[in-house]
Amino acid sequence: MNARTKTGLEILQFAAVIGLLGDVLLRATPWGLNVTLFNIAFAAAMITLLWRNAPQFLTRPTIALFGALIFFASMFTWRDAIELRVADTIAIVAILSIIFIPRMKIATQIAGVFQYGVAFLWSGFNALFAPIMLMTMDIQWAKIPRTGATRHIVSVLRGVAIVTPLLLIFGGLFVAADAVYAGWVQRVFNIKPEIIVTHVVLTALFAWLSAGYLRGVLMQDDDTFSSPIPAVEPVASVVETTTASETSSPHLPNNLTVLEHINLSDPPNQPQPPKAEAPPKAEPARWDWAKFDNTVMPGGLTLGSVEIAVVLGLMNLLFLSFVIVQVPYLFGGMELVQNTPDFKLAAYARRGFGELVTVAGLVLPILLASHWLIRKESRVATILFRVLAGIQIALLFVIMASAAQRLFLLTGELGYGMTTIRLYPLIFMSWLAIVFVWFAATVLRGARNHFAWGALWSAFLILGATHLLDPDAFIAKTNVALMQQGRDFDAYYNSRLSDDAMPVLMSAFEDLNPKAQETVVRRFAERYQESKCEGDLRSWNLSRSRTQKMLTSNPDLVREMEAINALRSHRYNRMGETVGPDCGGERDGDNEND
């Protein structure tokens, strides 16, 4: 059994275990501890396979990526906000994609944004289709030795395949022959077929995707799993021998033999004229992702100094015109905004913030693409790009400051409160500010290959800081503070935030007006009903657990919530409908007989 077959079998074994874990853990919703445990198991399996088969890929950057993966997976047990869960999922997928970078023969920390995108597509393609290669080409089934446990396993599987139809035939006859026996069989094997199907499908899906992904990381068509010692060409040694006739040949003048005279006239060590050698065969060129540049593009699609001056110059003029208009409002503050005729605060804040965040998000890919398309031989274009891009970044920071000011006006003392669609764009723009500083420190200084790695980890840093901020709790605290200053409080919106915000609402409950209290209590009642189905340890989450304890620790509140739920249930039952979550197993696809 060769090394490739052995590695393929190991991948199948680990993939089977991951498939079972995926079915057992991730069936339970809402996700929490199960996501953390699944990702830890997946990372452990991958590190083990790399350590056994490709230890050269266990570099510091790769280990750091595994650490980040486990960190973001663990956030599922901490925060409950759906926006954070989506961001954590994107971060995990991005990390799994970037782990493919070393297979492109390029160091992870110097790969570019384009290589990151290719790695994402490549990892997805492998996860979907590589298992076919693994089971049909990589593993040589005929050469697997049938000894020991392997032989017994194959024999057992053959026996099961033979006896299964016999058991079904005789079992069916026994069931038809006796009603008591038929009832016993029905009680024992009363498992819904759809449940079996979901278990099989989920297990197979997780195993298939895991096998394809692991195969893509560990095995490539050009890999060498063994390092055979190169064959050494035998070198013919020249052994000088003399025949008996030569040793007994008569001496010539000067007391020399015939052989010695020949050596004097034609020395054996005299350099020989070089022989004509055949020209070396040219090796086929291999694709090198590390050297991927704009030389692959037609000349008409690259940019020279004129194109750079026109494109970035006109964009800078447009940005400058907007900045000139915004500077008075930026430094004039709320007073100028309110005193401007026919100018409303809501229109100023709402209309501008989203658009300006979009502008900030579009500038980065435009600058990266423009820099990549600059002609290598055009030194003037490179210098011009650095100057104009630097000016554009400076103008962009003014625009971003204007966007931030609009948000502060919109959510401040005279505004309308904080929401998720206002907070998360501000966080995104904060990350963009860091990225643009990093862009100036790397790309504009001729070190583009370090940009993507730094931008990636800055995103991880901002996302981690966002978890520390606890966005939903921050939103609720901000809105409660505004309410205490006399602003309106949207009880319905704030009570619909995730469980991260529930403690804030509970602590501020006495400050709410009666109508807001009624709205919040109704939401508490819904959460109380939902919490009855969240006892599964696989779904454990710190925020949800804290909310459950908070809701059940107040007897008066419990009685009020139960009364609300009973009334709601009675109302829906009169209409022929049901209310509240069904804890009979629909949550994770199981039932009492599963």
Domain that holds residue 562: 476-574
- Residues 401-437 pLDDT 10s: 888 887 887 787 767 889 999 899 999 999 999 999 9
* Pairwise CA distance, residues 550 & 520, whole Å: 14
Long-range contacts made by residues 96-100, C-beta under 8 angstroms, separation at least 24?
Answer: 96/69, 96/123, 96/213, 97/123, 97/124, 98/65, 98/456, 99/46, 99/62, 99/65, 99/123, 99/217, 100/126, 100/216, 100/217
156 domain-assigned = no
232 domain-assigned = no
Q: Considering only residues 569 and 420, tell me which one the structure prediction assigns the higher pLDDT.
A: 420
447 domain-assigned = no
Strand partners, 374: 303
Give the pLDDT of residue 243.
45
Specify the range with the lowest mean pLDDT, choosing from 22-31, 237-246, 408-417, 561-570: 237-246
Q: Note the pTM of the prediction, 2 decimals.
A: 0.80
Mean predicted lDDT score pLDDT of the chain: 81
Count: domains in the chain = 3
Q: Are residues 141 and 8 in the same domain?
A: yes
493 domain-assigned = yes
Q: Are residues 359 and 419 in the same domain?
A: yes
Q: Are residues 434 and 498 in the same domain?
A: no
Specify the range with the lowest mean pLDDT, choosing from 212-221, 244-253, 286-295: 244-253
- Chain position carrying tokens 């300006």: 356
- Residues 365-385 pLDDT 10s: 999 999 999 988 888 999 999
Give the pLDDT of residue 592.
39
Peptide bond into 503 cis (omega under 30): no
Q: Count of CB atoms within 10 A of residue 285's CB? A: 6
Q: Considering only residues 273 and 288, tell me which one the structure prediction assigns the higher pLDDT.
A: 288
**What three-state secondary structure class fits 497?**
coil
Give the pLDDT of residue 562.
85
Domain boundary among 384, 415, 439: 439
Q: Considering only residues 110 and 258, tell me which one the structure prediction assigns the higher pLDDT.
A: 110
Specify the range with the lowest mean pLDDT, choosing from 16-30, 348-362, 531-545: 348-362
144 domain-assigned = yes
Give the pLDDT of residue 241.
43
Strand partners, 303: 374
Q: Considering only residues 61 and 165, tell me which one the structure prediction assigns the higher pLDDT.
A: 61
Which range is most confident: 162-166, 194-198, 347-351, 368-372? 368-372
Q: Are residues 423 and 324 in the same domain?
A: yes
Residue 566 in this model has a pLDDT that exceeds 80 = yes
Q: In the predicted model, what is the mean pLDDT of residues 214-240?
A: 53
Q: Are residues 128 and 55 in the same domain?
A: yes
Q: Are residues 325 and 395 in the same domain?
A: yes
pLDDT level of residue 364 (50, 70, 90 thresholds) = very high
